[in-house]
A and B are shown apart, each in its own frame.
Chain A
Amino acid sequence: MWYVSRSLKVKEQKVWERITAGDGTALAELYDSIGTRLFSLSFQILHDRWDAEEVVQDAFAALWKNPHSYSPQKGKLSSWLMVLVRNRSIDRYRSRKRRKDTTSIEVSLEVQPQDENEDVVSSASQNDEKKLLGAAIQKLPKKQLRVLELSYFKGMTHPEIAEELGLSLGTVKSRIRLGVEKLRNSLPGSLR
Chain B
Amino acid sequence: MPDLEQILIDYSLGLLSQEDSEQIESLINKDKKVSDLFAGVQDSLSLIGDSVELAKVNEDLKTRVLEICAVPNQEAMELPAELLTMAPPLPNNRYTGGGGSVDLGDLGKSDLKDKINRLYEGMLELRDLVSGTSAAAEGDLSELCKSANSIALNVPAHNSICSNGVSAVPHEEAIQSFLRTQLTSLPSMGYFLNKIHGERGSAGDARRLFYLCRDQMKIMRASFGDLDAPLLAEDEKMRLHGAGLLRTKWWGAEHSYYSRAGKVKCGYFFEGPVTERCVEFAEYDSNLYCLANLLGSKSENGGFQIELNNTKIPDCVLATLSATTSSENHSVLKDTFAQKYNHERLDEDHYLAHLVKSSISRAFQLSAPSEAFSRKFLGCERTENQTILWFVWPAVRESHGGGEATTSSPRQ
Contacts and interface: CB of A to CB of B under 8 A. Distances in A.
A112 B51 CA distance: 11
B69 A24 contact: yes
B52 interface: yes
B45 interface: yes
Contacts of A61: 65, 68
Interface stretch (B33-41, B228-236, B336-344): B33-41
A48 to B, nearest CB: 3
Interface residues of A, number: 75
A183 B35 contact: no
Given A39-B55, A58-B244, A133 B50 contact: yes
A134 B53 CA distance: 10
B403 interface: yes
Interface stretch (B6-14, B86-94, B304-312, B389-397): B6-14
B62 A35 contact: yes
A31 interface: yes
A130 to B, nearest CB: 7
Contacts of A24: 66, 69-70
B45 A79 contact: yes
A146 interface: no
Contacts, number: 198
B64 A82 contact: no
A92 B408 contact: yes
Given A27-B69, A184-B40, A56 B61 contact: yes
A75 B68 CA distance: 25
Contacts of A96: 406, 408-409
Nearest to B244: A58
Interface residues of B, number: 59
A87 interface: yes
B20 interface: no
Given A27-B65, A112-B54, A183 B44 contact: yes
A86 B15 CA distance: 13
B14 A90 contact: yes
Contact of B51 (A32, A95, A134, A158): A134
Contacts of B5: 177, 181
Interface string A54-91: 10111011001100000001111011101101110011
Interface in B52-79: 52-58, 61-62, 64-66, 68-70, 73
Contact of A74 (B28, B32, B403, B409): B28
Interface stretch (B118-126, B130-138, B185-193): B130-138
3 nearest interchain CB pairs?
A: A75-B39, A24-B69, A48-B132
Interface of A: 24, 27-28, 31-32, 35-37, 39-41, 43-44, 46-54, 56-58, 60-61, 64-65, 73-76, 78-80, 82-83, 85-87, 90-92, 95-96, 105, 107-110, 112, 115, 129-130, 133-134, 136-137, 148, 151-152, 155, 157-158, 173, 176-177, 180-181, 183-184, 187, 191-192
14 contacts: A35-B57, A40-B52, A43-B55, A48-B131, A50-B132, A64-B69, A74-B35, A76-B43, A83-B45, A151-B13, A155-B14, A184-B43, A187-B47, A192-B44
